Every structure is written in structure tokens, then in C-alpha cells.
Structure 1
Amino acid sequence: MKVFSSDCTFDYSWEEVSTANWRKYCPWNDKSTHVKAVDTLSRTVEPSTGLLRTERLITCQQTVPRWVLSLFGGSPLSYVYEVSYVDPVEKKVTMCSTNLTWSNVLNVKETVVYQRSRSMPGTKTDFQQEAMITALCSGWQKIKNKVEEASIERFSQNAKRGREGFEAVLEMSRRVFGEQKELEKEHLKST
């Protein structure tokens, strides 16, 4: 098993980040064009805590070499199962995902946390990401290590692109909602 981890701080409030999180696979995010569909399977709110739990199925178009498809079968479409928890009291979003496609060959378990920054609680949001990647090639340790190392490298590149795309979504959201708030203020002044 290999572990990838990353963290950063976004210069956006937790409210902005937690709201934009639901838009990160939108059509104008050119860093997530591989995501073809996001289907919500269930969504519930725990009445006593206000905790929002959402299950989603994410469909992605992968760039899988043809020889891999011919060797193992399958299609370039892959599926990821995600469960997220939004805690409005603690101001924390936790997202846990695992691959459904190719899980008998490579297992990827990812956890992402967006939490109100402790150093700048009103204006910044801390981001933590961890992925545990396990190749399931029993008996072939060298091949297993190579597969895991290559997967970590690819995951790292994708994580960087994903963060860049999310920054663009955050900026667009801030502009759109900033303009909307200004229009609302003007409307209230005129009435």
C-alpha cells in the first residue's frame, strides 16, 4: 500500500468552499472534463445534529491504454462511490470515496476534508487530502510496487489539476454570488 497526502489553505470562507464543492464538476471547470456524470444516490439530514449525508456515484472517462482494456476487459468508463458529510456546526465537510471499477486490481480509498481554518476562521478554509492505494497483485511484489508507485504519481498529478480546477470554481462562484448580492442590495435600496 502507498499513501498520498496533500494539504493547503484556500483563501475563501468555509461557506464559500462548502457551497462550491457541489459545483466542482460543473461544465466550466476545464480541469474536470473527465467527469461525465454525478448522480446523487441518497441525501439525508440528521435532525439532532444537522449533519448532511450524501451518497453519489461519479462516472469518469479514463484514458486507459487499449492493451489494458484488451488484456483485462472493460471500458474506459469508470465509477467512483462517494459518501460525504457536511457538519454545519463544526464547519467541516468530509468526503470519502472509493473506486468501483478495477477494484479487483487496484483499490483507491480517498478522504478529503474541508474545514474552517483555525488560524483565520472567517476568511480561510483548510484542505486535507489522503489516498491509500493498494495494488492487488498477490505474489508479485515487484509488479505490485510498480503499479502502486505509478498510481501514486498519477494521483498526485490529478490532485494538482483538481485543486487548480476547484480554485477556478471558487473564483467564479465568488464573482457570480458577489454580483448577485450587489443586485440584491440595489434592489432593496430601490424598494
Structure 2
Amino acid sequence: MKIWTSEHTFTHPWETVVQAAWRKYPNPMNPSVVGIDVVERSVTPSGILKSHRLMSTAWGLPTWAVNILGASESCYASEHSEVDPSSKTMTLRSRNVSFCNIISIDENLKYMQHPTDKSSTLLTQEAVVNVRGVPLSSYMESMITSTISKNASKGRQAMEWVIGKISTEARDFKQEAQICMDNVLPSSRANTSSL
């Protein structure tokens, strides 16, 4: 078993980062995630949004890994998340569904308002990798945790990309709203002055 952990601070408010987390896929930094389906979603009486999503990925495994695992083109993971707006936390717990009898990857992410800087968001990540029943299991665990580390860096880049996209959309929407208001207000003024 191998455990990988990481911490990262986004210099964006928690609400912005959570919006980006929902819209993270697809992105050009990590094209291996090819689909996300919402299996279940509900809101508790205390206002916590709970979701269960199924993620489809195309890992692009090397040939030797395909031979050992008997892999197909698509792999699947199950993700459970909770968003608590009152405590400003979002937690995501994911586990692979494909190859789970040989490899288990349990990943936990937590986005929370930074404890010392309310305008920033702290992300903590942990992955527990366990390979069993195949040769070189320790080597494979090390290889998988190394891949998780590289993908985490890409994931942070993807979050910044999505945040930039959200900012552009908001700016464009504001400009379009202003144009509409400018077109409506002169005619309303003309109508009121003629009364």
C-alpha cells in the first residue's frame, strides 16, 4: 500500500473554486476523463448538497499493464461529494470501479475556505493505492502514485483554466446585459418624456 498526499492554495474565493470543481471536466490538461454522469443528487435539510457521479476515463495504459490487468479502453470511477455552504467545504471521495479486485485507488479531496486568508481556498488531497495479486505490486503502486502526483498538477492547472473560463463568461454576460440595458433605457426615457 502507498499513500500520497498534497496541499495547494488557490488564490480565489471558495465559491469560485467550487464552481470550477463542478465544471472541471472536460479540460485540455487532462483529456483522459471522457465522461461524467450524475447517478444521484440530493440536498439535506441542513443544506448540504450530496452527489454521486460516475466518471469514464481512457487511461492509455501501457501494453504490459493491459496484458496483466486485461484492461478495456474505458475505465470507471465512482465519486461521492458533499458541498456544505455554511462551513464552506466541499469534499470528494472517489474509488475506481474498474480493476478493483486487483488495484484499489481511494482518493479524497477537500476544498475549504483558507483558514488565514478568506479570499483563498485550500485544497488537501490524499490517495491510497493498493495493488494485490499481481507480480511487482510494490512497483506498480509506486508507478500509480507517481501518475497521481503528475495528474494532480494537471488538475490544478485545469482548475485555473476553468476559473479563467468562468471569469470570461461572467464578463461577457455583464457586457451583453449592459448593451441590452443601454438599448432599453433610451427608449424608456423617450416614452416617459412624451407622457
TM more than 0.5? yes
Aligned length: 184
Match of 1:46 among 44, 54, 58: 44
Q: How does 1:121-136 map to 2 (within 5 A)?
A: 121=118, 123-136=119-132
Match of 2:87 among 80, 90, 109: 90
* TM-score normalised over the length of structure 1: 0.88
Opposite residue 31 of structure 2, the aligned amino acid is T
1:167 match: 160
Query: Which 4+ stretches in 1 moved above 3 angstroms?
Result: 181-191
Matched, 1:15 2:15: yes
Match of 2:172 among 176, 179, 188: 179
Matched, 1:73 2:66: no
Shift of 1:101: 0.7
CA distance in 1, matches of 2:129, 2:68: 22
2:138 match: 145
Deviations 1:94-146 (A, max 9, x none): 0000001111111100000111112121x2111111101111138x6xx2221
1:25 match: 25
Instruction: Note the residue ranges of structure 1 that are not aligned, 5 or more in a row.
Output: none
Q: Describe the SS at the equivalent of 2:79.
A: strand
CA distance in 2, matches of 1:182, 1:74: 49
CA distance in 2, matches of 1:182, 1:8: 33
Q: Is the 8 A contact 2:17 2:159 kept in 1?
A: no
CA distance in 2, matches of 1:13, 1:188: 29
Deviations 1:137-179 (A, max 9, x none): 38x6xx2221111111111111111111111111221222133
1:155 match: 148
- Seq. identity, %: 29
Matched, 1:62 2:59: yes
* TM-score normalised over the length of structure 2: 0.87
**Larger-gyration structure (1/2):** 2
CA distance in 1, matches of 2:9, 2:179: 33
CA RMSD of aligned residues (A): 1.9
Q: Describe the SS at the equivalent of 2:108.
A: strand
Opposite residue 10 of structure 1, the aligned amino acid is F
Distance 1:113 1:185, change over 3 A: farther
CA distance in 2, matches of 1:19, 1:181: 18
Match of 2:98 among 76, 101, 126: 101
Instruction: Note the residue ranges of structure 2 that are not aligned, 5 or more in a row.
Output: 186-195
